[in-house]
Amino acid sequence: MESRANNDVRLFDVFAHETGICLNKLINMGKKLRIIIYALTLGATISSAIAHNSSLCLYNATQQSIHVNWGGSTVEIASLSSYCKDNISTDKKETLNILSPYKGIIEVDQSQSNHKKRLTSLVLPESNGVLMYDQESGNYTNSYTIYQTAKPLILSMSNWMSKLSNTLMLNQIVIPGAHDAGMSETRNCTFFVKPSWTKAQRLNIYDQAAAGVRYFDIRVDYDHGKLTTFHRDSMGDGCSGESLKDVLDQAIQFLHDYPSEFLILKFSHTRSNEGHNAADIDTKVVNLLKAKPYDNYLYKPVVSENLAYTDISKLRGKLVAVFKHTDDKHNRGFDDKGYAKYINFALGILPYQDSESNIQGIDISDNYADKADYDEMLADQIKKWKQFASLGLPYQFLLSFTLTGEAGKADIEQLANTADAHLPGVLYQMIENESYNKPNIIYYDFVDAKLSQSIVQYNFL
């Protein structure tokens, strides 16, 4: 679930549907909240009783286009693209035959499409060991990734930036972004909140970077005596994630191992409820970054600059730490005023805001859909993509390919399965077939190196 401003669906509403809640607490929460919970619960219950159709997606992570006999028709799927059939009956069982340039079969049972399952590194039947596949199911989606046994990755995701020209500017490249990047683990969850409602990644920060990510969404709390990432709603319901120290240690270790790369850490949310003081937390975050060894890795421009126009040669081997500040439109009028008083280019504490402007620091056109329904999310993001995306602008466009949980539909991994399965095909359709401008950043949950390939490739096409 997203946790932006105060208009998010509260995790309290979710667990009220999922588990129920004691009558005394409901009474204490007041009549209005009881009515809201009842409406959400009733709606989710009715929804769950309705027969669902499902999606079946095949992602071609091989080096060549593949031809598949699918339901009696031959479908061509380009390299690093996906093909999906939606609105399939969950009673459907079928065999997909890969015809060329490799051979193999996939036996599909759509009745399992809502059963959360993840299988990896399996030999594709009848492929003579040439092809492997990963399978992920959930949220009424069966997703298959096909790749070559001998070469599971077409591009190296650990050092893909080493292939980029030093003359390129930040606003001229396309990078994968990790949404709620610190939430690869969960701890200190509030009562009734399931970890699966807040866990957004299965890889830690180092492994996300090794899987191609160069833009990280970092949200910070101070909880149980240490700085930690978190995923909570505006009432404080949710969980903590990786410690901030672990996040930073992994980031600088990655840059030590791969000095051709750079990592953008976006600090855009600070917890400010349940006795947690955002201003104090912000101070602790800045003080940690200014300490050794992290200070040595920060990108520190000699003068104030719009980072969109910065040559990537200056960024290699650096942490680009950007922070929300007073002008951030998501924080106006709230107690959390951001990092405004700490912004200092010479110290590497750089400003960030969500906007389509031309200021110093970094501007990101970042407007998520706030939808649990895939079709609604896609329509929302394509509209914004068409309006705001173009390489070379003074701001960068972020395509937020994420789904937001709601009552009855709160498991982030299951939601991500649907979005992630469709992502390569959407990118190929919009960029290659419909000539949309390339996005600068593509946000997704549950980062995977093979999926990041489908994003990174657009730097080289």
| Banded model confidence at residue 26, pLDDT cuts 50, 70, 90 | very low
| 325 has a pLDDT exceeding 50 | yes
- Per DSSP, 367 falls in state -
The CA distance from 395 to 361, in Å, is 10
Domain 160-459 has CATH 3.30.413.10: no
Q: Do 62 and 100 touch, CB atoms closer than 8 A?
A: no
Lowest mean pLDDT among 20-29, 188-197, 283-292: 20-29
Q: Do 67 and 79 touch, CB atoms closer than 8 A?
A: no
| 36 has a pLDDT exceeding 50 | no
C-alpha to C-alpha distances, 10 to 98, 239, 444, nearest whole angstrom: 44, 13, 21
The CA distance from 91 to 233, in Å, is 37
Helices (H), 354-394: 374-388
Mean pLDDT confidence for 411-415: 97
The CA distance from 198 to 73, in Å, is 40
Q: Hey, which residues does 169 pair with through a beta bridge?
A: 311
Contacts of 425 (CB under 8 A, 6+ apart): 57, 59, 81, 82, 83, 84
The CA distance from 123 to 276, in Å, is 50
Domain(s) labelled CATH 3.20.20.190 in the chain stretch across: 160-459
Q: Are strands 263-270 and 319-324 parallel, antiparallel or unpaired?
A: parallel
- Coil/strand/helix, residue 324: strand
Give me Rg for the CA atoms of the chain.
Answer: 22
Q: Do 218 and 266 touch, CB atoms closer than 8 A?
A: yes
The CA distance from 96 to 79, in Å, is 17
- Coil/strand/helix, residue 234: coil
Convert the pLDDT of each residue in 180-214 to its tens digit: 999 999 999 999 999 999 999 999 999 999 999 99
Instruction: Identify the pLDDT of residue 337.
Output: 64
| Length in residues, the chain | 461
| 22 has a pLDDT exceeding 80 | no
For domain 53-148, which CATH number applies: 2.40.30, 2.60.270, 1.10.3470, 2.50.20?
2.60.270
Convert the pLDDT of each residue in 360-380 to its tens digit: 999 999 999 999 999 999 999
| 140 has a pLDDT exceeding 50 | yes
Domain(s) labelled CATH 2.60.270 in the chain stretch across: 53-148
The pair phi, psi for residue 384, each rounded to 5°, is: -70, -35
| Banded model confidence at residue 234, pLDDT cuts 50, 70, 90 | confident
Q: Are strands 441-444 and 396-400 parallel, antiparallel or unpaired?
A: parallel
